[in-house]
Structure 1
């Protein structure tokens, strides 16, 4: 199975640099334009359908992609939703580390649960659409955690993903492999990634 994790288009909170998480913010005009522009970069012959997270910014992005590519919009997958950042949602990202050292936000979904949750979404999509080629619209932090879970690296060492960036994964012989990260070939990104265990040891030191 071939699947691409696509980050949703821009929202006003993205533009203002606010931590978004599960707060349900719609696309702005730029976000809609980004999705429309991405249609021209994707070959409709390469894809069978579009699915997404249930949050409105992901659903809107999915609808624009599907309409432009002549594809159907499939189900919403709750497990594709963004990480819950609890009390930090709506806060300027630039102020996060000062207000909550170590990013221990009250009400935050534990980091170690995000990647496995995202993998469960991939597995569910694979069951629902075996052998299909699927565009799955989700969220930046969720996507980084999923890629990190698959490759065995720490999610914070993955590069920030732009709006409408496409990260491709392939499932073969019951295993998922990362092929691209935000459009870059995985082997080109690999030298910048840190093993998850190495970062955890450093954090405890």
Structure 2
């Protein structure tokens, strides 16, 4: 199975470098344009299904991609949602550190996110037995999954960019788009 884990298009929080986490922020105009560009790039290949996280920025990006590919959106899953930043959501990283220090109330640990990401991708891939699946999600979520697959720290993809994987649930390898830290 081929997977394209695509980060949603830009939001106003992305533009302002604010932590959005599980806050349900919509795409901005630039994000919508980015989603259309991602769809055009993906249209050069054969994809069988498109799914997304349950947050509107991912759903909108996935709907744009699915329409370009001539597919129905295959569902949206809370298990694909971004890392929760708790009380720090809406703040910049600097503001969060100034207000709370290194530990932010209600923040999901990176380790918990990584366990959730691996389980979610394996479960969703198993539930969609197709040859090629587009999964629209979030930057830190994608990075957590990629870190697990390759065994070293990576960086999150830019808005509306993807990291590609091949394999089967429980056994993935990166095929394209990985950026080392």
Q: Does the alignment pair 1:8 with 2:40?
A: no
Larger radius of gyration: 1
Corresponding residue for residue 79 of structure 1 = 79
Q: Residue 172 of structure 1: CA displacement?
A: 4.2
Q: How does 1:134-173 map to 2 (within 5 A)?
A: 134-154=133-153, 158-172=154-168
Q: Deviations over 1:61-82 (max 9, x none)?
A: 0001111121221011221000
2:41 is paired with a residue whose SS is: coil
Runs of 4+ in structure 1 over 4 Å off: none
Number of residue-to-residue matches in the alignment: 181
Corresponding residue for residue 124 of structure 2 = 125
Gaps in structure 1 of 5+ consecutive residues: 194-205
2:4 is paired with a residue whose SS is: strand
Preserved CA contact (<8 Å) 2:87 2:107: yes
Q: Residue 116 of structure 1: CA displacement?
A: 1.3
- Aligned counterparts of 1:125 and 1:29: Cα–Cα separation in 2: 30
| Structure 1 residues 159 and 45, CA gap change in structure 2 (3 angstroms) | closer
Q: Residue 145 of structure 1: CA displacement?
A: 0.5
- Aligned counterparts of 1:80 and 1:92: Cα–Cα separation in 2: 23
Q: Deviations over 1:117-175 (max 9, x none)?
A: 11111111222111331100000011101111112223xxx224210011011114851
Preserved CA contact (<8 Å) 1:168 1:179: yes
Corresponding residue for residue 95 of structure 1 = 95
Corresponding residue for residue 36 of structure 1 = 36
2:106 is paired with a residue whose SS is: coil
- More helix by percentage: 1
Q: Deviations over 1:72-97 (max 9, x none)?
A: 21011221000100011000234334
Gaps in structure 2 of 5+ consecutive residues: none
Preserved CA contact (<8 Å) 1:51 1:75: yes
Higher relative contact order (CA 8 A, sep 6+): 2
- Aligned counterparts of 1:173 and 1:56: Cα–Cα separation in 2: 26
Corresponding residue for residue 66 of structure 2 = 66
- Aligned counterparts of 2:170 and 2:24: Cα–Cα separation in 1: 34
